[in-house]
Amino acid sequence: MVAGGCPRRVEDGAAYESGRGSMASPHHALAPGAERMTPPPCGLLTLLTDFGLTDPFVGVMKGVVCAAEPQVRILDITHGIRPGSIVEGAFWLERSYRYFPAGTVHCAVVDPGVGSARAAVAVAAQGHYFVGPDNGLLAEVTLHAPHVEVRQLDVEALGLRQVSHTFHGRDLFCVVAGRLAASKVGFEALGPLAHLAVPSPIPGVVSEADHFVGNVLTVDHFGNLITSLRAAEVLPASGTPFRLEIGGEWLRSVRTFADAEPGELVALIGSFDAVEIAVRDGSAFSRLRPTPGASVKLFPS
Amino acid sequence: MVAGGCPRRVEDGAAYESGRGSMASPHHALAPGAERMTPPPCGLLTLLTDFGLTDPFVGVMKGVVCAAEPQVRILDITHGIRPGSIVEGAFWLERSYRYFPAGTVHCAVVDPGVGSARAAVAVAAQGHYFVGPDNGLLAEVTLHAPHVEVRQLDVEALGLRQVSHTFHGRDLFCVVAGRLAASKVGFEALGPLAHLAVPSPIPGVVSEADHFVGNVLTVDHFGNLITSLRAAEVLPASGTPFRLEIGGEWLRSVRTFADAEPGELVALIGSFDAVEIAVRDGSAFSRLRPTPGASVKLFPS
Amino acid sequence: MVAGGCPRRVEDGAAYESGRGSMASPHHALAPGAERMTPPPCGLLTLLTDFGLTDPFVGVMKGVVCAAEPQVRILDITHGIRPGSIVEGAFWLERSYRYFPAGTVHCAVVDPGVGSARAAVAVAAQGHYFVGPDNGLLAEVTLHAPHVEVRQLDVEALGLRQVSHTFHGRDLFCVVAGRLAASKVGFEALGPLAHLAVPSPIPGVVSEADHFVGNVLTVDHFGNLITSLRAAEVLPASGTPFRLEIGGEWLRSVRTFADAEPGELVALIGSFDAVEIAVRDGSAFSRLRPTPGASVKLFPS
């Protein structure tokens, strides 16, 4: 169904966005509505891992997909998740998937428990598909989804029993994701309906009388600290100024990096709707050296 | 016009190379000749940024292009430009674009001033298209171009007014570059004719009585120091031996790494026609630790 | 022969696996049987280098291939080989190629002797093609191949005499690999039959009375130490427990990371059939800081 090795344009993608505002609790499988609400796979597969690019781990995953499903297009979201950091992986997966076409299959592998009893799952939510370990990594994308369908991968039925003990990314997840992206197997045929056993590892934002408490989740390439505070949730309007407290330091908010003084430590709304801490022409991480998960307090002005 | 997701071969590419040797000064828009001299977009889009690969920034740019223009092929030039280094970005863009097919659209984003008043532009020059901020990054490619056409991106007309304040790479530049690469919009429709406001940040080579003075522009993965001295400009023939002085050290020139003694600090003409400083089986950067922009003197023998 | 920019499925790939168990010694060209045993190029080209991703070296290689052979699909195996480490490159190439489709052309460049007299070669073995320098990098893949054919690249006949002295990856190897992958040139037309002058740099495993002696070859992104000991060669069955000695430390074997105690230094069979040393949720490299090539002893239980 995919011509020319590139995903076709999903002309009917808008349909899946008509979420009915179901009040279903997250982390539980619903009746198979999400799958019906999800457009068919569009022939695009993304990869998000903590494998880095120093070794051929990512390369051989692509080889495996390309050998079995040559018509599937593969794009990297990132392979730079901090090794073993499910928090960071869950965060970036949730903030990134929406920039890809509806019907994309996202293969996400941050899997310190590989080879243990943790389940392997596929999730249909928000018009996208997700394949990976059930360790919290895929849970964040389901939190606000009106319809979620989870399938536990049936490795026997899929003919994938003989996988390695240490590299399910290559031997299981990307094989399944490739077949799904190529429409070789239907989502409902991946295994029985299930629920995610492990919830999102991202701590919730706490709402106090006059402020919100969140956490530093990750640091980006530029040394900006990215927090769990989502502008849409903590500010009445996107341009509202605020003050941010971290480790006893008080920061003013600016609109963009160029509005800060050179070397000034500031807070701003980053491009993924997250409250971030930055130093103009410098690294907030080097300046503050926060511990992972360090708490921050936001006071709207 | 692109079949199968891959750029067609540009059979008529030679036409654009018939530069008429115009004496037009750089940094100024010419009459719309360059656009007519530039072959139509070939369906290939490249990315050159300082975003690194640790975060999903590059991944979501590709998602955005793929979602809107699935038939466009995307290749990375590099995402390893030193954060905020317009010099390094301008240098590598100018040395790299020529290895891609004529009609390629190069989306270049090293943009410390994102969200400020700096303009967003598209440039047609040398048979290629370039999209990015007007901060000097795109100026180097226009320096020796017989025909240059610059368009200031009209974000209103392009329907891109609601962009983020901190990530124009995703919300503006790659969207425009994708449309251009897919021939969805013509170059002349991107906005009004303009000129580049900011010149190339790469310092010019100074010609003295018996030597040339240049600067160290960047250090590569192997620790080689790459200078602004271009062999074609400072040596009568490519094999001419020379001596190079940096920080009081005098280096002989060799033809290739293997011609140096193990551990010897030498100068040579690198593969991008730049004079480089290298240590065989070692790192010239670790040996010399030059300050950014350190000056070098080349004496032809 | 390739439709849509993606390699066609190699439906007849199984044929080449019917190796006849020839006892031919490695490192020597055989009669042109391997080429006949190798399926035709499938339109896929991989890259394995020590170029890193900081500079545009890899990007321009892709540009060169894309400009000349737009229908060839390009996948990265890795560009993170330690600079100049032929051992690491040879190891990962041999362990990785098999995950790509039969008929893939692998362009491998770890080439500290670039510009010297070392030969440039193409190899057909194990149903795949390999292009790179004759410095040991391609030798490991030939070791257990029932049929091997080596061609010395004839740069004159290929019209590639004017290559740079320092970047044969761009000017020679990927040009040839691209033409081969696109079936523009036949393998036998690349140059005269030859043999590999330089053997594999990977030290052989030594078999003692009650144990095997191997070496640490590389360290991966997670800090795991990967040795030259191949499970299939040193253990009677894949699940056999063993003890491993390195630098006076004795390690027990586990099945997967999750079977170790947090912080425990253990040995296990990694996903590429290599005996590895790992620390659960930590880095074995940081713990042991082995010298390159450090020896390890494996005692089957």
CB nearest to B221's CB, from C55, C59, C167: C55
- Is residue C190 within 8 A of residue C180, CB to CB? The reply is yes
Task: Look at residue C18 in the predicted model and tell me its pLDDT.
Answer: 30
CA distance C112 to C90: 14
Q: Is A111 on the interface with C (CB under 8 A)?
A: no
- Is residue A46 within 8 A of residue A105, CB to CB? The reply is yes
Q: Pairing state of beta strands A128-133 and A105-109?
A: parallel
Query: Could you say which residues from 170 to 199 on chain A have a Cβ atom under 8 Å away from some Cβ of chain C?
Result: 170-171
- Is residue A200 within 8 A of residue A91, CB to CB? The reply is no
Q: What is the mean pLDDT of residues C273-296?
A: 94
User: Where are the domains positioned within chain A?
Assistant: 13-194, 206-300
CB nearest to B75's CB, from C66, C164, C170: C66
A99 contact residues in B (CB cutoff 8 A):
60, 63-64, 67, 170
A62 contact residues in C (CB cutoff 8 A):
75-76
Question: How many CB atoms within 10 Å of residue C156?
Answer: 9
The conformation of residue C226, written as its DSSP 8-state character, comes to E
Predicted ipTM of the assembly: 0.89
Mean pLDDT, chain A, rounded, equals: 88
| Measured CA distances, A178 to A41, A77, C256 (Å) | 10, 16, 25
Task: Look at residue B275 in the predicted model and tell me its pLDDT.
Answer: 97
Could you report the per-residue pLDDT of B93-124, keeping only the tens digit for each? 999 999 999 999 999 999 998 888 899 999 99
pLDDT grade, residue C34 (50/70/90)? low
Q: Is C52 on the interface with B (CB under 8 A)?
A: yes
Could you report the per-residue pLDDT of C188-217, keeping only the tens digit for each? 999 999 999 999 999 999 999 999 999 999
Task: State how far Cα B165 lies from the chain centre.
Answer: 24
Q: Is B8 on the interface with C (CB under 8 A)?
A: yes
> Hey, what CATH topology would domain C206-300 get?
Elongation Factor Tu (Ef-tu); domain 3 (2.40.30)
Task: Look at residue B9 in the predicted model and tell me its pLDDT.
Answer: 31
Could you report the per-residue pLDDT of A130-166, keeping only the tens digit for each? 999 999 999 999 998 999 999 999 999 999 977 788 8
A79 contact residues in B (CB cutoff 8 A):
53
Could you report the per-residue pLDDT of C252-272, keeping only the tens digit for each? 999 988 899 999 999 999 999
CB nearest to A99's CB, from B55, B63, B115: B63
Q: Is A56 on the interface with C (CB under 8 A)?
A: yes
Q: Pairing state of beta strands C128-133 and A249-252?
A: unpaired
* Model confidence at B29: pLDDT above 60: no
Structure tokens at B98: 């020529």
The contacts found for C219-223 with CB under 8 angstroms, 24 or more apart, are: C219/C284, C219/C285, C220/A54, C220/A55, C220/A57, C221/A51, C221/A52, C221/A54, C221/A55, C221/A57, C221/A83, C222/A83, C222/C278, C222/C283, C223/C278, C223/C279, C223/C282, C223/C283, C223/C284, C223/C285, C223/C286
Query: Could you say which residues from 215 to 254 on chain A have a Cβ atom under 8 Å away from some Cβ of chain B?
Result: 218, 220-222
Q: Is A116 on the interface with C (CB under 8 A)?
A: yes
Looking at the complex, report in whole angstroms how far the Cα of residue A161 sits from the nearest Cα belonging to chain B. 32
pLDDT grade, residue B5 (50/70/90)? very low
Q: What is the mean pLDDT of residues B26-38?
A: 53
Does the beta-carbon distance from C46 to A67 stay under 8 Å? Answer: no
CATH 1.20.1090.10 fits A13-194, yes or no: no
- Is residue A182 within 8 A of residue A71, CB to CB? The reply is yes
Task: Look at residue C248 in the predicted model and tell me its pLDDT.
Answer: 94
